[in-house]
Amino acid sequence: MGWFAAVGDALWEAGFAVPKARRECTAFGLCLIGVLLYGGGRLALFPPRSPTLRVASITRPDENLFPYPPGANLNKRVMMGEPLTDAETAQLHQRSNSIADFLLGRADLESQSGAKLITFGEFNFPVLRQYEGDLIH
């Protein structure tokens, strides 16, 4: 990924004129093709001999799909453990429930499709401390 960014930068600086960044593009392209061919060949010629496990990793979609997106000030206050009004707490709880319903619904679909291990990205389940118990059981 780092090398891709460097090649992208070289292209950017060359005004997207590939001939000016030909060396970088060629080196990256040859290396990428080599890695893909080697990896594909290795898997085709030497398939895994041990049992495999289907894994699903689920992340939240666009933040705007859920109600009451908190502003930067509210996020900061929550992270710092500052007191919230009852209305703010209710809105955050409703938002948290909406996100949990979505993510756990996706987890059910993945489980029905055969996933044995399901992970969620860090910070995907925002929940206030007083409602953690509701989410766990």
User: What does the pLDDT read at residue 17?
Assistant: 83
Under 8 Å CB-to-CB from 45, ≥6 apart: which residues? none
Residue 49 burial class via C-beta count within 10 angstroms: exposed 0-12, middle 13-18, buried 19 and up: exposed
Cα angle 39-42-47, degrees, rounded to a multiple of 5: 120
The predicted-structure confidence for 6-59, as pLDDT tens digits, reads as follows 989 988 988 888 888 888 889 999 999 999 999 999 999 998 888 889 999 998
The predicted-structure confidence for 57-92, as pLDDT tens digits, reads as follows 998 888 778 888 888 888 888 888 899 999 999 999
Residue 38 Rama label (left phi>0; alpha psi -120 to 50; beta): alpha
DSSP-assigned letter for residue 52: -
CA neighbor of 70 nearest in space, from 129, 126, 122, 136: 126
User: What does the pLDDT read at residue 35?
Assistant: 95
Rg (CA), the chain: 23
The predicted-structure confidence for 94-134, as pLDDT tens digits, reads as follows 998 999 899 999 999 999 999 999 999 878 888 888 888 88
d(CA 76, CA 63): 17
User: What does the pLDDT read at residue 69?
Assistant: 82
d(CA 70, CA 77): 10
Record the tokens describing residue 19, joined without a space: 């001939």
